[in-house]
Structure formats: C-alpha cells, structure tokens
C-alpha cells in the first residue's frame, strides 16, 4: 500500500489564537453556513418553526427563475395587474405601487419583489405565472419538497402573516444556497441598492433595497429581510470575502439596528475564526498514481466533485491531506475507474475519505515491452 503525501500550501502565518466560542447575538434562531464546503459554522435552534415573513420571497424568486431558465417565461413578458395585486399596495404593506389594469414586465415585477420587497408585485407575478396565488403556492411547495425542505410550507407568495406559511432558518439557508448556485445571472438583482418604478399616472417612485448589509461595504450581495410583529426582524444574508461565501439566516432580532449589527457580528465571527480551502477541483488532476505496464508512468486522478474543507483556524496545524492506493496500478486503465482514496484529517477526531478516479485512459504497452519491463523488474526490482 503506497501513501503519497500531498503538500498543500496553507497560509498559516497569520495563525489565529482567537477564541472560537460562539458569537454573542440576541436572536431566537440562526444558522451560519459556508457556501463552498457546506459546513455549518454556527447554529442556534436551526429547526425552530418561524414565520419567514418576506424571506418567503426567496422561493417566489426561485419559481420565476426556474421558468426563465427553462425558457418557459421571459423577462419582457407582461402581466395585467389584478385588483388583488393592486389592493396590496393600498393596505400598508411594502409595495412597488403598481396600478390596477397596468401591464408590467416580469423583470420589473422581479425587481419590485427582490429590491423593494413589494407584496403587490408578488401577487401580480404569482397570478401571472399560475393563474391564482393559491396555485402559485402549490408550485412553491412542490419546489420545497424537491429541495428537501422538511419543515417548510408556503401559503402565499409574499410572506404576509399566515399560520400556514412557515419555515426554519435551516430550510431558508438551503433555499438561499440553491438560489445563488443555480441562478447566478438572476441573483445579480439581489445586490441592487435601489429600484425606480416608472409608474402609470404619477411620478416615478425610487425605493432602496431593504437589506441593510448592502450599504456597509461588507461584501454583502443579498439576500432578503423580513419583519412580522410576532417574529420581529429577520434576515437571510450572503457575504463574499477572501475567495469564500458565507450564508447567514437569523430571526428574532429585536430592532432593525440589531438585525444589521448582529448579522455583521455573526458573519465577521465566521470569517475571522475559520478558513475554507479548495482541496480538489472537479475533473482537474491534482494527484497522480504510479502505473505498471502502462504507456505512461503515472495516471492523473481526480474527484468527481469540487471539494472544499472548512476548518477552525486554531486547528489548521492538524490539517493533513494525503492519497492512498494499491499500486503501482496495472494498465490498461479506463477513465472514470476508481483507483484510490483521498484522506483528509481535519483534526484528531475527524477524518474524511473521498474516492479518486482516473482522469484519463492509460493503454498497456506492447507485448515485447511488457516482457522486457517484467524481466527488468525481476532482476533489478522497482527502478
């Protein structure tokens, strides 16, 4: 059994001696996830049932983005504004202020939903896509089931108070990850800080994005705020920094200011106390195994998926990566054939084992050369 140790050059000069104790924030429930590795860095009652308020609009956006990606919907498609949608703007809710019987494009409705949290825009989009908001909620729940959201149910497209519209911060984090990963083009809307709606029958209305982190020069590029009297303030946020992305979802902030400051505190804690490393890139050969009777002396091997590892900075000295295989590996070798393992020791207590696969075909040498190599091996050994 050969073991080839892989040297990974980690930036450990700035090794942190800070405490890894949980950040002190005043919330009911929260979660912090590394986007690349999927590691949960912090959680507090992550499966507690909450009313997601306007964080519901994350799923509303996903449904529209899905249809756009499948070419079943276009950004310049227009929907006629119903009385149901129009009345939402007359009821004191956050609104885009669309007018009855107007024709509004899908793109404008999406901006009204994502940037200014317009409940009227949600109803208009839902009715335009599914005929009724009830039908649209069924589409949302079908998507929730597809994503494996075990503690979520949607009863409307906007998140206005309804006991049957509930979720958890864990499920909202999963939704957020799916949104960012699958619709990078449309996700760009979430970082826009304002939207001007050139409405019919009045002056244009310019409103700012409700997400306070977008104005902090903190690396935030989304996602969605929420507020209901029963839940207080909530926020699903995404911050990019140092070649990594963190997703935070929390609910139960007592004030708008605490929503902003404590979200920053949570994400800063994650960035300060952990690092994420790219160990392997899908279909890129970072590792090699020795071959026997092959036309090449080594075969390139790789993982089938990108592999990122998140570790506490205080544990970086214990982080080890090496390969293990029975070798040399006899040719012929087929691309995609499982040949060995990537062993990752995160710390003394946690070890991961990842299969490694041939990233190329290796043909066997001809009979004459095979005999010569075998003869040399018997006389001289492995030279």
- 288 tagged catalytic: no
Q: Is 334 a catalytic residue?
A: no
Unique residue bearing structure tokens 């979200």: 263
Among the options 82, 89, 117, 158, which is catalytic?
117
- Helices marked H in the chain: 57-69, 83-88, 106-114, 119-130, 133-146, 169-182, 184-187, 256-273, 367-380
Whether 117 sits among the annotated catalytic residues: the reply is yes
Q: Pairing state of beta strands 205-208 and 220-228?
A: unpaired
Question: Distances from the Cα of 63 to the Cαs of 98, 186, 369, in angstroms?
Answer: 21, 12, 61
Burial (CB count <10 Å: 0-12, 13-18, 19+), residue 216:
middle
Alpha-carbon distance of 132 to 169, in angstroms, equals: 27
- Can you tell me the distance from the alpha carbon of 120 to that of 126, in angstroms, rounded to the nearest whole number? 10
The CA-CA-CA angle for residues 230, 236, 242, to 5°, reads 155
Q: Distance between CA atoms of 73 and 69, rounded to whole angstroms?
A: 8
Phi/psi of residue 19, nearest 5 degrees: -65, 145
Of 37, 57, 61, 263, catalytic? 57
- Known catalytic residues are 54, 57, 117
């Amino acid at each position: 059994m050969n073991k080839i140790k892989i040297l990974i050059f980690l930036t450990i000069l700035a090794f942190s001696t800070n405490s890894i104790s949980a950040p002190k924030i005043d919330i009911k429930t929260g979660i912090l996830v590394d986007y690349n590795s999927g590691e949960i860095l912090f959680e507090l009652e992550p499966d507690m049932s909450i009313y997601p308020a306007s964080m519901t609009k994350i799923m509303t956006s996903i449904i529209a983005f899905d249809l756009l990606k499948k070419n079943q919907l276009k950004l310049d498609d227009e929907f006629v504004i119903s009385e149901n949608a129009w009345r939402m703007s007359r009821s004191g809710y956050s609104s885009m202020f669309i007018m009855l019987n107007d024709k509004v494009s899908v793109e404008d409705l999406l901006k009204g939903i994502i940037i200014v949290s317009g409940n009227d825009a949600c109803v208009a989009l839902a009715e335009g896509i599914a005929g009724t908001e009830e039908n649209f909620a069924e589409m949302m729940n079908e998507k929730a089931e597809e994503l494996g959201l075990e503690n979520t149910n949607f009863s409307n497209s906007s998140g206005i108070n309804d006991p049957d519209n509930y979720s958890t911060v864990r499920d909202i984090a999963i939704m957020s990850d799916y949104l960012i990963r699958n619709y990078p083009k449309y996700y760009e809307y979430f970082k826009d800080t304002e939207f001007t709606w050139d409405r019919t029958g009045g002056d244009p209305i310019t409103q700012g994005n409700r997400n306070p982190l977008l104005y902090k020069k903190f690396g935030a590029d989304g996602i969605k705020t929420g507020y209901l009297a029963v839940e207080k303030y909530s926020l699903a946020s995404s911050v990019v920094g140092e070649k990594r992305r963190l997703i935070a979802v929390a609910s139960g902030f007592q004030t708008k200011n605490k929503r902003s400051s404590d979200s920053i505190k949570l994400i800063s804690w994650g960035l300060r106390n952990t690092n994420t490393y790219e160990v392997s890139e899908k279909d890129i050969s970072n590792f090699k195994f020795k071959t026997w009777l092959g036309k090449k002396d080594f075969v390139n091997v790789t993982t089938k998926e990108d592999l990122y590892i998140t570790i506490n900075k205080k544990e970086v000295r214990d982080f080890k990566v090496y390969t293990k295989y029975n070798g040399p590996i006899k040719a012929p070798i087929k691309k995609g054939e499982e040949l060995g393992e990537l062993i990752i020791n995160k710390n003394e207590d946690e070890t991961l084992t990842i299969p490694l696969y041939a990233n190329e075909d290796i043909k066997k040498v001809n009979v004459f050369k095979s005999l010569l190599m075998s003869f040399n091996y018997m006389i001289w050994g492995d030279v």
